[in-house]
A and B are shown apart, each in its own frame.
Chain A
């Protein structure tokens, strides 16, 4: 008796299960993405807007961090990944080599030095060398001559400097340490560059929010966060001297200019370009792209239709979708960069077949 009952129930369950799964598969293509937290607000907006216009696509983006995104695309647990730092040589090798991957910039961002100095209202001017010395512990007081010389009109207080850094591995640290390493030989050989480094002085905070909290509470504190984050939280930040000697304030425009400067070196499918310390009169020096990563052949997607919708989403995101970048205070791609992205997207295939893209 028990046996019969059980089998009846199982049969019903199986039937329900079948009907559920058939309706699920026929209606929508589900595209999964994961990765960087810094551009997450932008991606979430892109997904939301795109979804309204194309209700047949289900796109899901989870901000789990750049490192997590790269791991996920390597394991093929997602269809597209996002990362602030481009994939390095070793990571590219584990996915089967450079020719298997398409990596495109989606927008750019600037990293700004935020500080807490009550009574100082003029934005302070920094050079890369000064920032390096501060983070090396060689400049420890706000009124030291090296700072005073750069800011002759500002009355600097006799306050100790507390440098604040990210404790977790992050794209922000990656860009900041890379930039400082181009500015100071001392920094490069003693602290070095990477998503996470060993800082000789100061205090750590986990994530942008803790770095911000620490700077806001410490008179004399200095930290580094993305410009959009600093703006959203009304943090005071300084100007940084670029390659041409101009002191530039970070903004979508000045960061975009830095991106345009690197377009000449962007060729092929993996469009990784370092855009810190770029030439250009008004280009902001501590800039970086953030990237979207997919396989060049989208055979990890269920069918050609899904592959096409993914590519078209990427196309839209790097073209019409760019206006949401500006709206959210990220720097849009310069036209020169867009041209390189178009070439890369056109090379994407599904099991060897070309995909029709650019249709809206």
Chain B
């Protein structure tokens, strides 16, 4: 995590006394290599900002038809219908209107609302954190406080190796291995295990459905490809980043601090707890980075979440996230308003990830800047 920010690099190059090199090394060249380097790195730094603003501008431009058509309702409604619908017109009382014995038909234009995908992104990411955070903090504590070097090195390597596995590989594993496993073993076990809590099964494992013309409440058919599976796969994918950052953060807790707790008679657990408390804001930053990654993850989640653009109460129902919606629909979206709606979803996702990252950076960097951590 020791990356030099581009602007800092620019300052560094610019603040070098370029004139000294100029006079000592090459007296005949007009332009010194230092000032060229400074210019280039400044350009690099500025171009990154330019790219970000260009991205925001282009997405806003592409999303404009949707923004003007749907307004703020885009954020709070749940219909996602790319096709026109021709249906009998209804009057205020809900009756079909007829004129001269013929049913009056009305054509409803396509309508888009992003609430189900915003909900899907939020819930699947939070679910991922619920699984990943305890594991990551545990692994980081183990690496920093418990393991011998001969074990710490391969474990660190393996954790970081998880981050290098392509997203599609997680997706295929999720679809062909994890989802059937959840469907046949884990989810039925959860259903049995939670059945003693009143209301739990009614919330998680039932749905209303039509049967022979009647509305009935029935047991939810488990498919394994649902919000729960999506959250699990995301958890595995964000484990490496949270573990790696929290390991570095915990390592930077001053030794004196840790020894102090032990000297005061703290048990190992109390001491470890103090370590976590000491670096809580940086750890929170690590979690936020994991959250940003989970929210933006695309290929794997598309394969395991079931891709249903509706809000279902149960975690064991199919869902959809913003990024999986884009992966599913963008390539073949043919009408202007459909593309605009998808662009608006992309814009929301970009702004959200930006906010996550800004908050996370402030927390992590803020912690590193403490003088006590320089040991």
Contacts and interface: CB of A to CB of B under 8 A. Distances in A.
Contacts of A214: 223, 225
Contacts, number: 116
Contacts of B307: 167, 203-206
A281 B224 CA distance: 42
Interface stretch (A98-106, A120-128, A136-144, A250-258): A136-144
Contacts of A141: 211
Interface string B81-118: 11111111000000000000000000000000000000
Interface string A122-162: 00000000000000011111001110000000000000101
A167 B329 contact: yes
Given A168-B328, A168-B331, A203 B85 contact: no
5 contacts: A162-B223, A197-B83, A198-B82, A198-B83, A217-B224
Contacts of B209: 137, 140, 160
Nearest to A188: B86
A139 B211 CA distance: 6
Contacts of A194: 82-84
A202 interface: yes
Contacts of B334: 67, 70-71, 169, 195
A146 B85 CA distance: 27
Nearest to A133: B210
Contact of A169 (B80, B211, B332): B332
B80 to A, nearest CB: 6
Contacts of A138: 210, 213
A203 B213 CA distance: 22
A192 B213 contact: no
Given A162-B221, A167-B329, A213-B175, A139 B210 contact: yes
Interface in A167-185: 167-170, 177
A220 interface: yes
A207 to B, nearest CB: 9
A217 B180 contact: yes
Contacts of A221: 223
Contact of A203 (B86, B87, B223): B223
Given A140-B211, A160-B218, A194-B83, A203 B306 contact: yes
A236 interface: no
Most buried by A among B80, B176, B212: B212
* 6 shortest interchain CB distances as A-B pairs: A194-B83, A204-B307, A189-B87, A169-B332, A160-B221, A198-B81
Nearest to A221: B223
B113 to A, nearest CB: 11
Interface of B: 79-88, 175-176, 179-180, 183, 209-213, 218-219, 221, 223-225, 302-303, 306-309, 318, 320, 327-329, 331-334
A65 B332 CA distance: 7
Nearest to B333: A169
A191 B302 CA distance: 23
Contact of A220 (B81, B88, B221, B329): B221
Contacts of A195: 82-83, 332, 334
A145 B333 CA distance: 39
Given A188-B86, A189-B86, A196-B83, A169 B329 contact: yes
Given A145-B212, A206-B327, A67 B332 contact: yes
Contact of B303 (A146, A199, A210, A218): A210
A190 interface: yes
Contacts of A206: 302, 307, 327-328
A340 interface: no
Contacts of A177: 83
Contacts of B218: 140, 160
A193 interface: yes
Contacts of B180: 217
Given A167-B328, A198-B309, A206-B302, 8 more contacts: A71-B334, A137-B210, A190-B85, A192-B83, A198-B81, A202-B308, A217-B175, A218-B223
B331 A65 contact: yes
Most buried by A among B80, B179, B333, B334: B334
Most buried by A among B83, B219, B329, B332: B332
B332 A204 contact: no
A68 interface: yes
A217 B177 CA distance: 10
B82 A196 contact: yes
Interface string A206-233: 1000100110011011000000000000
Contacts of B306: 203-204
A264 B301 CA distance: 48
A192 B332 contact: no
B179 A217 contact: yes
Contacts of B86: 188-189, 192
A88 to B, nearest CB: 10
A213 B177 CA distance: 12
A203 B225 contact: yes
B112 to A, nearest CB: 10
Contacts of B223: 162, 203, 214, 217-218, 221
A137 B179 CA distance: 23
A144 B211 contact: yes
Contacts of B213: 138
A188 B212 CA distance: 21
A193 B332 contact: no
A197 B80 CA distance: 8
A169 B80 CA distance: 13
